[in-house]
Amino acid sequence: MKTQTASEFDVAKIRADFPILTQTVNGKPLVYLDNAATSHKPQCVIDTINHFYAAHNSNVHRGVHYLSQLATRELEGARDIVKKFLNAASDKEIIFTKGTTDGINLVAQSYGRKFVNPGDEIIISAIEHHANIVPWQMLCEQTGAVLRVIPINDDGELLMEEYEKLLNPKTKFVSVNYVSNALGTINPVNRIIELAHAQDVPVLIDGAQSAPHLKVDVRELDCDFYAFSGHKVCGPTGIGVLYGKEHWLEQMPPVQGGGDMIKTVTFEKTTYNDLPYKLEAGTPHIEGGIGLGRAIQYLESIGLDNIAAYEHELLEYATEAIGGIKGVRIIGTAKQKASVLSFVIDDIHPHDIGTILDQEGIAIRAGHHCAQPIMQRFQVPATARASFAFYNTKEEIDTLANAIHKVIEVFG
Amino acid sequence: MADLSELYQQVILDHNKKPRNFKALETPSITQEGHNPLCGDHITLQLELDGDVVKDVGFLGSGCAISKASSSMMTAAVKGKTKAEIELMAAEFVKMVRGEIDPETEENHLGRLKIFAGVKEFPARVKCAALSWRTVQAALEGDAEAVSTE
């Protein structure tokens, strides 16, 4: 598909797909710039979920009756959509989870506890979300392994030469995000994976922030695991995906036992089900999976490349409009960035910025973005963060810029 | 609709810019930490007691304008007061910012602190205003654990 320029990108038509965007907040039109926290849902996703409960609701994988077969077919159809979205080799490699956090924890507790030993090392980066820090700290406590951290420069970019030095024969696993939620940095994951694989070290990519913005081909990337959340790609909350290479998933023991993940159970011995069900104990989030499948189809109908190009234009526009305001400092100035603009204003706390913007109908995130080590690195208690989606407009960025002037005025 | 100028009144902005008693005490009787973990607001409160009376008070920390101004005005309000007087004010202050008492119509001991009544229109900011008062409550109750308002 040809990549569209922004002028061809029909944002008005896209906005009409999102019923939530038409409302007013505090008497002003909603300007939703908190997309890195969660994305809104197009009508087609809402309709799909409604229709499932109105017409197809049943449990999956166990009924011989009509509705159960229908529900199973829909959920497995969604798995196939995800498989094609990621270009995975097989449906067996697509595990439905609660979200990115759940996926990372599954790998840490299953792969990690099986293969990581005392004295082994696990590498993460200095710009991870807590969800890609804490599960590895827990694993280190349980196994006696050691956590190593790739440092960053003042622009929020990973120091790759330091990463190369960290890799050593004790390294057992590397887990990094593709895109930083707090800074927007796009990490050189191709190179990170290549260097790890040269030493036979597997790599997990936290895709929470990349899945909504960047086309990912897991086989081309050659990552061993890739985790993302449904709610950040216009799908429902409570559903996510863990992609894993089949040969790893085959070797991984289940972390949760229960229904659906077994073949036979006696009180003496249980045999586990085949992939992907072995790692999906209990009744799954059926409507979540189906809604996620529909959300991915929706994004693909617009085109991930078109989305990335348009969002990049929004980021450049916002960087100039907001970064140019006297007293504003942008935190995270990597050369390769996704559409996240983290900033601070001299002597004004981000929560005060957030409250004043809210009065103007503008939703941003103010806080540490579940990434406290990044705040410590940049010596700020918190930042204000505007994060853009393909349904945002340049006019909304103008509204944000005007409101920031108002913030500065209030605090004079 | 909530009115921004009710929240960010001139007195509050002034205390934010020039917080009173923003200092460490040399001989504190009590040191108490308070946090808003989700916001990252943080206060270290120190009290020097003479019997039952707060002789001197100081605070350090970082936070938003509301939490900083509240800390500043709290320290000014508690100096020279007894434990019982402070505990009463703290309870009334927290009720006021939650909208549970109206300081204009109901009897109270809040005085200048009534300026924070506007916070009740901003539910997300109630914990910012309450942090310093929760911290002084814990300090007087001898609660060694750090206070959290979330």
Question: Which residues have C-beta within 8 Å of that of residue A235, sequence separation ≥ 6?
Answer: A41, A45, A288, A291, A292, A294, A295, A296
Strand partners, A147: A122
pLDDT value at A209 more than 60? yes
Give per-residue pLDDT as tens, A129-154: 999 999 999 999 999 999 999 999 99
| Residues of chain A with C-beta less than 8 angstroms from the C-beta of B38 | 367
Which range has the worst mean pLDDT, A6-15, A312-321, B130-139?
A6-15
For testing contact with chain B, the best of A26, A130, A352 (most B CBs within 10 A): A352
Out of A10-14, A305-309, B143-147, pick the least confident.
Answer: B143-147
List of residues 6+ apart from A52 with CB closer than 8 A: A71, A74, A286, A287, A290, A291
* Catalytic residue status for A223: no
| Mean pLDDT in residue range B30-42 | 87
* pLDDT for residue B150: 55
The predicted pLDDT at position A222 comes to 98
Residue B42 has pLDDT above 60, yes or no: yes
For residue A346, the one-letter residue type is D
Write the pLDDT tens digit of every residue in A346-372: 999 999 999 999 999 999 999 888 888
Cβ of A381 within 8 Å of Cβ of B63? The answer is: yes
Give the chain B residue nearest A357 (alpha carbons). B4
- In order, the DSSP letters of A99-163 are SHHHHHHHHIIIIIHHH--TT-EEEEETT--GGGTHHHHHHHHHH--EEEEE-B-TTS-B-HHHH
**Residues paired with residue A226 on neighbouring β-strands, in sequence order:** A205, A243
Task: Write out chain B residues lying below 8 Å of A28, CB-based.
Answer: none
Distance, CA of B143 to CA of B35 (rounded, Å): 14
The pLDDT value given to residue A371? 87
Cβ separation A351–B122 shorter than 8 A: no
- The confidence score (pLDDT) of residue B90 equals 97
Q: Is the predicted pLDDT of residue A20 greater than 50, yes or no?
A: yes
Report the pLDDT value the prediction gives residue B144, as an integer from 0 to 100: 59
Is the CB of A359 less than 8 angstroms away from the CB of B4? Answer: yes
Chain B positions in Cβ-Cβ contact with residue A368 (cut-off 8 Å): 40
Q: Which of B1, B3, B4, B14 to mutate to test the interface with A (most CBs of A within 10 A)?
A: B4
**Average pLDDT in the A195-219 region?**
97
Write the DSSP symbol of residue A221: H
Residue A6 has pLDDT above 80, yes or no: no
Q: CA-nearest residue of chain B to A25?
A: B1
Q: Which of B2, B63, B124 sits opposite A349 (nearest CB)?
A: B63
State the pLDDT at residue A4. 52
Shortest Cα–Cα distance, B5 to chain A (Å): 9
Distance CA A366, CA A373 (A): 16
Does the predicted model carry a pTM greater than 0.80? yes
Are A83 and A94 in contact, with CB atoms under 8 Å apart? yes
Nearest to B65 among A349, A358, A381 (CB): A349
Structure tokens at A60: 């999956």
Parallel, antiparallel or unpaired: strands A270-272 and A262-265:
antiparallel
- State the average pLDDT over residues A78-98: 98
Assess whether pLDDT exceeds 60 at residue B52.
yes
Examine the pLDDT at A5 and tell me if it is beyond 60.
no
Q: What is the DSSP string of A334-376?
A: -SSB-SEEEEEETTB-HHHHHHHHHHTTEE-EEE-TT-HHHHH
Q: What is the ipTM score, two decimals?
A: 0.88
pLDDT at A1: 47
- Amino acid symbol at A37: A
Q: Please check the confidence at residue A57 and state whether its pLDDT lies above 60.
A: yes
B40 with A381: Cβ contact below 8 A: yes
Q: What is the structure's pLDDT at B1?
A: 53
pLDDT beyond 90 at A63: no
Whether the Cβ atoms of residue A175 and residue A132 lie closer than 8 Å to each other: yes
Long-range contacts of A402-407 (CB under 8 A, 24+ apart): A403/A356, A403/A357, A403/A360, A403/A362, A404/A322, A404/A325, A404/A328, A404/A345, A404/A353, A404/A357, A405/A325, A406/A356, A406/A360, A407/A345, A407/A348, A407/A352, A407/A353, A407/A356, A407/A357
- Mean pLDDT, rounded, for A251-259: 93
Higher pLDDT, B5 or A85: A85
Q: Which of A161, A162, A176, A237 is nearest to A210 (CA)?
A: A176
- The C-alpha of B145 sits at a distance from chain A's nearest C-alpha, in angstroms, of 21
- Preceding peptide of A276 cis, ω within 30°: yes
CB contact under 8 A, A382 and B40: yes
* Cα–Cα distance, A203 to A125 (Å, whole number): 12
Q: Which of B39, B122, B124 sits opposite A382 (nearest CB)?
A: B39
pLDDT confidence of residue B36: 86
Tell me the three state secondary structure of residue B2.
coil
